[in-house]
């Protein structure tokens, strides 16, 4: 049985994202897989690449053959160099800068108006029935 490390396509039309999977070479592109070992999102800037290096090393060690696209990804993550015995193999994947934390602009006024107090309305109906009782006593 020939085992391949390849990409499994997910997502919508014109918005693809992929999982890096280990599968039998005879299965469909998006068919049954043996194991998922990573993710690849090409539409993000920079592209999001995440590979479980330990599992990738295992599957390469037992003879799984990567496709051209996965080979390029493994070279970026340094897993291919590690598999070939390169001591200086390192991860060259670019990571996105963390988003800046949101800060409220104190120079602007708040648009939200405070709610009116309603306890005064609640007291009025309580007094009205008491007045009715006194009126019925007089009659």
**Residue 96 in domain:** no
Q: Quick check: is 32 in a domain?
A: yes
pLDDT tens digits, one per residue of 22-52: 999 899 988 888 999 999 998 888 888 898 9
33-42 contacts at long range (C-beta below 8 A, 24 or more positions apart): 33/8, 34/3, 35/59, 36/8, 37/5, 38/73, 40/7, 40/73, 41/17, 42/16, 42/17, 42/18
Q: Would the pLDDT of 89 be above 80?
A: no
What pLDDT does residue 126 have?
55
User: Residue 31 belongs to what domain range?
Assistant: 3-84
pTM: 0.65
Overall domain count for the chain: 1
Residue 32's CATH number:
3.30.1320.10
């Amino acid at each position: 049985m020939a085992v391949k490390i390849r990409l499994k396509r997910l997502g919508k039309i014109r918005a693809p994202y992929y999982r890096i999977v280990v599968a039998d070479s005879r299965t469909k592109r998006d068919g049954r897989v043996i194991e998922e070992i990573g993710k690849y999102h090409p539409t993000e800037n920079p592209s999001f690449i995440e590979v479980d290096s330990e599992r990738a090393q295992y599957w390469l060690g037992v003879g799984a053959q990567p496709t051209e696209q996965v080979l390029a990804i493994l070279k970026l993550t340094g897993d291919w160099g590690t598999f070939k015995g390169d001591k200086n193999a390192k991860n060259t994947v670019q990571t996105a800068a963390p988003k800046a934390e949101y800060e409220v602009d104190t120079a602007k006024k708040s648009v939200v108006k405070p709610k009116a107090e309603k306890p005064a309305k609640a007291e009025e109906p309580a007094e009205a029935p008491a007045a009715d009782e006194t009126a019925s006593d007089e009659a």
